[in-house]
């Protein structure tokens, strides 16, 4: 109250989950945490779209780094079906390309020595 804002709570995306009575953050692997957070963000975007009739733009950092191939493919499939726009960063673009169906319209941007290019 003295600060005039909160330091924790759902408005700050500070949610805590338990799994079998144990804090999920202590039990889940990094990949599992990323999967849970990704699912929550996709659900949030879905609810937003339903209530506003506006599409979402998803910003995803290094999708293939901590998700295994089946989960990354499922994540990308959901994005394809949603028709929302997404920007996904990754270190190895080839690792990301295999998760999309061949008819999905993709644009690859590369940042090299401060220069942005499209291929």
Is 0.85 surpassed by the pTM of this model? no
Q: Is the pLDDT of residue 75 over 80?
A: yes
Mean pLDDT of 20-27: 88
Closest by CA position to 64, among listed 37, 89, 28: 89
- pLDDT for residue 8: 67
**Strand spans (E) along 1-119:** 18-19, 22-23, 57-60, 85-88, 109-112, 115-118
The predicted-structure confidence for 30-44, as pLDDT tens digits, reads as follows: 888 888 888 888 998
* CA pair distance 61, 8, nearest whole angstrom: 23
- In this prediction, residue 9 has a pLDDT band, given cuts at 50, 70 and 90, of low
């Amino acid at each position: 109250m003295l600060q005039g804002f909160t330091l924790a709570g759902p408005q700050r995306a500070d949610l805590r989950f338990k799994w079998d009575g144990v804090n999920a953050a202590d039990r889940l692997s990094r990949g599992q945490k990323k999967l849970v957070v990704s699912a929550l963000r996709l659900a949030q975007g879905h609810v937003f779209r339903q209530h506003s009739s506006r599409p979402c733009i998803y910003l995803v950092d290094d999708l293939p780094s901590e998700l295994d191939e089946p989960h990354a493919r499922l994540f990308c499939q959901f994005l394809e079906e949603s028709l929302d726009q997404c920007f996904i960063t990754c270190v190895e673009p080839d690792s990301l390309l295999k998760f999309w169906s061949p008819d999905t319209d993709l644009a690859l941007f590369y940042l090299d020595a401060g220069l942005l290019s499209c291929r």
